[in-house]
Amino acid sequence: MVEKIFHTSFGDIRYWVNAAGEARPWLVFLPGLTADHRLFDKQIEYFEGKYNCLVWDAPAHGGSRPFRLEFYMDQLTEYLHSIFEREGVDRPALIGQSLGGYIAQAYIRRFSGTVRGFVSIDSAPLSRDYFAGVELALLKHAYWIYRPIPWELLVKLGATGTAQSEYGRGLMEGMMRVYSPKEYCELAAHGYKLLSLAVEAHGNREPDCPVLLLCGKKDGAGSSKRYNRAWTKKTGFRLVWLEGAGHNSNTDAPERVNELIEIFIKENSR
């Protein structure tokens, strides 16, 4: 993977790309809130060379720092689109974990008809129908939920609350420790506010491309399992429960996730 930089007025975005061949599909990996490109190491290891791959550190995440916390969903989708144009990314499959899945849905809505497919990993629908008003209101005030928690306890909760495997927990802890405690809390709070505003603006639209839902059976983050049950019931999108996996299920069950992604890509590349 080749590291590249995309410059914006708020800061620089780092992303990594590998072009396996013009005729091969593009896989774009979008990590979740506070996670960086390393979240998808097991997927890049498997798919690099077989498909064209791109993964980013979202603005204010990982190596894409410092970055002013003044961006919202429209800016994120615009940044992605500009990076795709620069790299010649055509009809990508968007693979988003948690917040990355919301970014993917916003991109699909804004650039309708340009996406090959969408794989949601422990994410949830962006459609307003699924959310209660009180849930959206609480998302806008997450800073004061996070900030009083002692940093070492917050790191422990972050690692054990998102992953079940030793590998997954160690990875999440490493990704959290690149931030200062205050920076981490500010980023998390901004991400939840961004999500709340995006849901309110999205309306009741579903992706206009093939969709695969993946969710860890032990996902304890928020209401992911409840949302995914409602999502598949309403839309008929295929939902696969991943045994023994938590919220970062692609780190807990990477072989199974890779297998399901590859089958999905092959089914939608004919």
| pLDDT of 209 over the 80 cut | yes
Average pLDDT over residues 205-218: 96
Give the confidence band of 141 by pLDDT, cuts at 50, 70, 90: confident
Q: How far is CA 126 from CA 33, 141, 195, 232, in A?
A: 15, 19, 8, 13
What are the structural domains, with CATH classification, of the chain?
Answer: 2-267 (3.40.50.1820)
The residue type at 236:
G
Contact 184, 157 (CB under 8 A): no
Average pLDDT over residues 118-133: 91
| pLDDT of 270 over the 80 cut | no
Amino acid 21: pLDDT: 81
Average pLDDT over residues 99-117: 97
Distance CA 146, CA 184 (A): 9
Give the confidence band of 137 by pLDDT, cuts at 50, 70, 90: confident
From 209, 226, 224, 220, select the one nearest 267 (Cα to Cα).
209
Name residue, tokens 């849901």. Answer: 199
Kindly report whether the peptide bond that precedes residue 210 is cis, defined as omega within 30 degrees of 0. Answer: no
Give the confidence band of 222 by pLDDT, cuts at 50, 70, 90: low
Share of the chain above pLDDT 70, in %: 99
Note the pTM of the prediction, 2 decimals: 0.96
- Output the DSSP codes for 81-109: HHHHHHHT--SPEEEEETHHHHHHHHHHH
Average pLDDT over residues 74-91: 97
From 215, 180, 15, 195, select the one nearest 105 (Cα to Cα).
195
| pLDDT of 71 over the 90 cut | yes
pLDDT in tens, 228-242: 999 999 999 999 999
| pLDDT of 118 over the 80 cut | yes
- Output the DSSP codes for 34-72: T--GGGGHHHHHHHBTTBEEEEE--TTSTTS-SB-S---
| pLDDT of 177 over the 90 cut | yes
**Residues 6 or more apart from 219 whose CB is under 8 A from it?**
122, 225, 245, 246, 247, 249
